[in-house]
Structure 1
């Protein structure tokens, strides 16, 4: 029988509960809540730690983070607006092409004449891409963005149920798929090599601002490490979920790197990355491939850090995926076997949807952890933010450098809160997307 909140019994039990929680509240208050609040206040002050006097300067610390040491030829507002307008036009054109092709394919299902038109489109666009690549040169960022948008185009096409009438795609559907890939690739190449004023602005600006470079390097690291870690962990978890010999040994082997000290792991990888007698270059030499200066070339700085981080944390992610796989009821797979479903169909329609909750959780914690990368950089490069040109400078390393080396406490606090806002925004976006996409078994 519930009792009134004003009764003596209610207040007696409430105070007892808070008394039990008091030690934890005190510890959290001293070591968590107080530093968070103090650093927020400190971000609005100028303090060099050598004196007790602090000067209130408002948002000057935040402005200093984004201040450029030398001006950039491009305008930030104009470059952003031009890129947004171009991207909107690209999306409208691509959707219009898809709509027109859909109308054409509905005129006559037996008429194959429109397939010839697809071939013409594919030939023209493929030739255009080849001419642009050979005349200007395909950049790395253009290649990765093109592949990403190709995947996005494929995803959009496959999501359109009306374009797939059966399990086997018809010739017209395959031609539509190829056309979609080529169109997305062309526009991606245009966006990131010719019309991407905003990308060009950011590329120039990051060379004149250490904080912008730290954001760029951190985002680059997150894009490399998070998808790779999740994909590898899912594959390993599915293999370990099968009845194989020495399964417990393999599970332990994959998890050991996670519980190993970051310093020890980084030191081992520092030897493996050595360009003279490292293990990785020895493996490359077996296949007559050129040696790579892993720890000396700035191009390989972020990929090197990502390799170490993925290797160390993939075991932890695998364990979480493995727990999610074992929570899926076996009756679903038994019913699928009765219906004659293939392995891919069981993964697509059973495993992946029922694993969406686990994947959602992993994406959030992996992304937050990736934004806080620091130890690997500090050990691999012996206390420096990369070999040259601060190529390994990340957001947490920037905070560390501003706080301990430069002793600019206000700037370090402001940078920490910018990092907090970035993580908060991305987490909120993931939460909103997760409400629509995540499926829980019940």
Structure 2
């Protein structure tokens, strides 16, 4: 055993579970590809100010959970705690908003980092698949992204999730609500941290999970009562488009999400089988974020879906995804000459697109056949010196046990036919 372990709050992805994780990432991304989203990858660390400005100084993510550090050259950097700010920074830096039609549609898959108290479903390194539509203000885009996430979850076999939906207003109506909420909060008995948060971003107080705080929030002014006519009409269009697409949702007037940049549409995917960590994904519109990080006005909308949480949701619903076998064909050489010939045959099969493996380490027949069974392969290729003298190999169907001789020069064609 090694002296070292994975750092606290992290874990290793190992076969065969890693194959399921890859399949989940692929399923979450597939609807995005069909909808014209292009893949983007950004560095895992960025200028710390990108997140403090974009995500918000008042958020727990920035004030308590960010991995920030100073480099030897004196740069202040942070491991990315979320994906949107990085994607928008990359799009602005490359002038993607000037090179073609808006919106610029991008998707990403990668790890994020937060210094959290580790628990099931909440890790210090976690994986997300995310999507951003940059540079257009259109309720159809908001609805599109929610529908794509719904399609992705359903394609995995998930059913017991709910979509919570709200509008956070815009720069016209939100300040009026913010002032009314602050006035209400000043009359409550709140701890010092919460009072500070109420002054910086009072909407974050609504998101407080403590029962003692929630009890005091009864009777707090509701954002829905302060929305301007434009925001009401916009939100109604999002709701109508979702309903027309057969996507069910629940209006949740207290849904604010944990990032400061959201405006108007905000949504969350929750799964009731996950206990306190019930959110499996979420997102919303962030029309002012580009300006916050020094760019032009670029109204945008996006989401991030948690890969770790999605796996837990699949487990909670008992949805089993059988990983594909690592190889279709497993070669069992009997003797040194057979090893050379079958090594060549395996290389040839791989080059023809057939997944194939070989019994390494000079195993005997019994141990090699056990390795073939464990590999999950459909066929074993067995050859000894007598077979090779006749230009043959034995092809054994590992499901039925049937064994047939096949000419070496016809092996690729025979296997391709059988594997169809």
TM-score calculated relative to the size of structure 1 = 0.20
Relative contact order higher in (CA < 8 Å, ≥ 6 apart): 1
- In terms of fraction of residues, the more strand-rich structure is 2
More helix by share: 1
